[in-house]
Amino acid sequence: MDTERPLSANERIKLASNLLRGTIADGLTRTETGALADDDTQLTKFHGFYQQDDRDLRAERGKQRMEKAFSFMVRMRVPAGILSPKQWLKVEKLAVERANGTIRLTTRETVQFHGILKGSLKPLMQGLHADLLDTIAACGDVNRNVIATADPWRPGLHAEITGLARDLSTHLLPRTRAWHEIWLDEEKVSGEVVEDEPILGRTYLPRKFKIAVALPPHNDVDVFAHDLGLIAIVEQDRIAGYNVVVGGGMGMTHGEPETYPRVGDVIGFCRPENAIDVAEQVVTVQRDYGDRSNRKHARLKYTIDGMGIDHFAALVNERLAVKLEPARAFAFTSTGDRFGWAMEADGSAHFTLFVENGRIRGRTMAGLHKIAELNVGRFIMTPNQNLILADIPAASRTMVDALLREYDLDLPSSGLRRNAMACVALPTCGLAMAESERYLPDLVTLLEDELERFGLREDDITIRMTGCPNGCARPYVSEIGLVGRTPGLYNLYLGGSRDGTRLNKLYRGDVDGNAIVGILSPLFESYAANRLDGECFGDFAIRCGAVAKTVAGLDFHDNT
Ligand code: SRM
Ligand code: SF4
């Protein structure tokens, strides 16, 4: 750890916060403003919410000298993304009564509520808690929601890894009672705070920390994009243990090459009974060695690149009771979801529902309400912003199927659309430089026309868009990535692999929608004519770029 450089402002705020309490409770009582105190807006992240303002209204309200249209975004903690039908109904009720009437499924298997006014925060938190849900550590410099493969095929293995996700989440939670005190009115610890943070430390981690658990051959979680990934190794139908991947991350800043996306490195293998210790020690090494001066350089990926992967692995091993073994073989095939019905041997079934960019409202919400009222199965949110109605018993399948049809929840989509993801961006995200969720569906419609012309409509091709370079839809590991630069303009990346193991590359900077279609159309044509057997679009793009630009004349740049 560098002790010479001054600590970042957030470190000061955390230290002075009395274990994440700050003056949040007081701020909630102040009715003269829709906002909270500045320092508290950093602390609220640890409680699972962000202060935002409606950016569509910002200029007009500024002109009128009015306060910004403040509201809050609340993110739930749902390890492995699993909700009961009853919990789903509660989420919907709170979205309608306390937020903007929509449920937003995120790229990390949880729900975000948007547009919550200050006075609704407490009822919302209490409503969640009444159904055994919470928002603790959903954001902030802590271990975030732990995600695990959403696909419930192979139920025994799925149960084991989702159980691990839950245990990891619980084990790495902050110990402070601040959340319970502020939101549930739990009696305050009198006088000096007596809790301690044995794992995270009293100033928590230098930056956010994310864990994903994958079950090959499915890499729906994008395990290489996380600070820590665990890849289940299945031998004789049992989980023998997990390969340990460290140092993935997507965020970068335009024009700052010292910031970059990175795919994680595999550093070894651990037995199932040691997985939690491995996670704890990776977290504690990052706690002790991460950069607390410069938040743009504070993620684990930079800690690792600073000291070298071998040194990092050695530090983790030193702290482990049982050392890592050599990594074992594994293979991924895709990062996408499997849509439609999938049957289990016992007659039960799962239905994976396409939810465009994760936003649930209107008829989709009404149909899911009816299905949840049947009170069968489970709702599993996928890391691709979709939803699986899992474990539907044979006796209920016809009824669920009828509701899916009645509410148009089973309509087919093109291969490109069903593999598309967009981050939230405008109007709520304070960091957005361009549209994303509100624009990608229209761009996909234009691209579908081109794909149709070349007979590629049904081909799975991943396309991901973000409104800024932070990478919330993991655009740097998709086959086609679009990253917002300024309103209407995007950087276009090509060449991610279908299995999520390879970063794509910057292909063209500052292109608008028409230019994007103009660039991709001949590439689609060339792909249709010249692809190798089974070759996916991302691999084709790389092959064209690497092999003397013969097929499509691709000219790649480095993606930093
Ligand atoms: Fe993200 C910040 C939305 C997944 C990297 N992200 C934000 C904020 C909170 C903006 C802010 O700080 O003010 C966005 C809120 C927008 C809104 O109005 O709702 C936001 N991130 C999202 C979600 C909702 C995108 C989505 O459309 O689904 C995802 C919520 C995940 C969850 O449930 O926890 C989301 N964010 C991601 C991912 C993907 C992942 O983790 O698999 C990444 C890239 C992976 C990574 O962390 O490296 C990601 N978000 C960021 C970053 C850049 C971090 C960095 O290391 O540079 C920021 C900005 C920051 O932290 O300073 C950010
Ligand atoms: Fe906001 Fe940028 Fe994340 Fe999109 S990628 S949600 S614009 S921070």
- What phi and psi, each to the nearest 5 degrees, are found at residue 445? -60, -45
Ligand 1 centroid–CA 324 distance in Å is: 31
Q: Which two tokens stand for residue 87?
A: 């919990």
Q: Strands, DSSP E only, in 415-535?
A: 420-422, 463-466, 480-486, 489-494, 505-511
Which are the contacts of 278, defined by CB distance < 8 A and separation ≥ 6? Answer: 230, 242, 244, 270, 316, 320, 324
Q: Which ligand is nearest to the CA of 291?
A: 1
| Mutation to probe ligand 2, out of 106, 470, 493 (largest number of atoms < 8 A from CB) | 470
270 included as an active-site residue: no
Whose C-alpha lies nearest to ligand 1, atom 60?
Answer: 470
Domains and CATH numbers, the chain: 340-414 (3.90.480.10), 416-543 (3.30.413.10)
- Three-state SS sequence of 310-370: HHHHHHHHHHCCCCCECCCCCCCCECCCCCEEEECCCCCEEEEECCHHHEECHHHHHHHHH
536 included as an active-site residue: no
Catalytic residue among 472, 505, 536, 544: 472
Q: Shortest CA distance to 259 belongs to which of 507, 476, 4, 478?
A: 476
Which residues does a 6 A CB cutoff place in the pocket of ligand 2?
Answer: 423-425, 429, 431-432, 436, 466-468, 470-472
Catalytic residue among 270, 429, 536, 544: 429
Our answer on whether the CB atom of 428 is closer than 6 Å to any ligand 1 atom is: yes
Catalytic residue among 423, 464, 485, 498: 423
Given a contact cutoff of 8 angstroms between Cβ atoms, the answer to whether 435 and 487 are in contact is: yes
Please tell me the predicted confidence (pLDDT) of residue 8: 97
By DSSP bridging, strand 238-246 and strand 103-105 are unpaired
Annotate 71-97 with DSSP letters as a single string: EEEEE-B-GGGEE-HHHHHHHHHHHHH
Q: Which two tokens stand for residue 406?
A: 């009645």
Which residues in the chain show pLDDT less than 70?
1-3, 189-194, 546-560
Whose C-alpha lies nearest to ligand 2, atom 2?
Answer: 468
Please tell me the predicted confidence (pLDDT) of residue 188: 73
Annotate 529-551 with DSSP letters as a single string: HHPPTT--HHHHHHHHHHTTT-S
208 included as an active-site residue: yes
Whose C-alpha lies nearest to ligand 1, atom 35?
Answer: 472
Please tell me the predicted confidence (pLDDT) of residue 4: 76
3-state SS, residue 49 = strand
Ligand 1 centroid–CA 139 distance in Å is: 9
Please tell me the predicted confidence (pLDDT) of residue 187: 80
Catalytic residue among 108, 292, 299, 468: 468
| Mutation to probe ligand 2, out of 259, 439, 440, 472 (largest number of atoms < 8 A from CB) | 472
